[in-house]
Chain A
Amino acid sequence: MLVFVLLLAGTHVELTRVRDARPPQARLGYFPPASVIKALTADQYQFVSQVISLQCLFYFGTLVEIRTQAPDWWQIYRAVYTATRLDPYNMDAYYFAQAVLTWETGMLPQTIQLLEYGFAHRTWDWYLPFYISFDYAFFLKDYEKAGMYLAKAAELKPEVEWYATLAARYYYEGGSTALALAYLQEMIPAARNEAIKKRLVIRAKASAQD
């Protein structure tokens, strides 16, 4: 018995060390297409979708900690895409895509497509049109579309008066730093994950200095 316990403890510690030393790209792993996962997981696919979102979060969190290796953004995007195809209502996946994939990945069109897909399902959710509106205005300078989506967000969330005001401004004005700050001030308090929060705070500081 003692021999087995020693063997178990010894290998477990070493195994943990070896596994921790894996390149971050190997951590996220491979996810088969959503249709295959759906066929193999019966009624568990919503939970699998949530697990994939969490895997992305852990993967991203690890990279933020390490800071030496660039994340494989395509791998993250493919994982988030799979998560949303498994469960189109999975808000965590959309939130993660918006917080992580928009700024420096060069995958803005793909992210907007993801969010639009989400909004087609989560028709009551004002966050998604709000995110899409921001992406169109801030990154793509397409104020007409930005205004359209912000008007939808204002319709779903009439309590936030400045949405409607800003939506009106979009139609005739260009984007501004104030827009980025307003957006980030909305995102940061809602961020529950520290890695994402840190990233957004850095963005907010950079925008304030512009």
Chain B
Amino acid sequence: MLLFLLAAALVCDSLPAGFVASSASLEYNVKAAFLLNFTRFVDWPPATFTGSDSPLTICILGDDPFGRAIDQIAEGESTNRHKITVERIRADQPKSCQVLYIPSGKPLPAAFIATPSAVLTVGEGEDFLRQGGIIAFALDNGHVRFDVNLKAASNAGLKLSSKLLSVARSIER
């Protein structure tokens, strides 16, 4: 467990020195870092962004399991000059998102299944992929890993980097 914590801390070496991870939120700290890193291995269609420096928004649907950790991780970060912003949204009020995190137990909103949504949907568990989600977190020997539904990504009009695929636990095609 200590190893896991250390790894998480190292992955997010840009975290402020004052940040102290509580044991309950360690898993989500890692997942928050992964969320940020996913943006770096995914190509969105050019029409997704209104401008070259328009923000890249990570939306968290419903209850937020990350807390302030994700805000701290995304603080000052950018991907391909798109500033990273974090939004918390509700299902009945969809907003313009590039990454949508759906917490465990919540169904994938239909709007994001429609093609091409150009939204990277990230959820929890293998069921999420079966619903049409693109990336699903999984725990493997206490390590955070993820699975990929490549077909869903393709339907959404997204291109996933082969490097991302090379570290995925499993890939559905």
Bound together = no
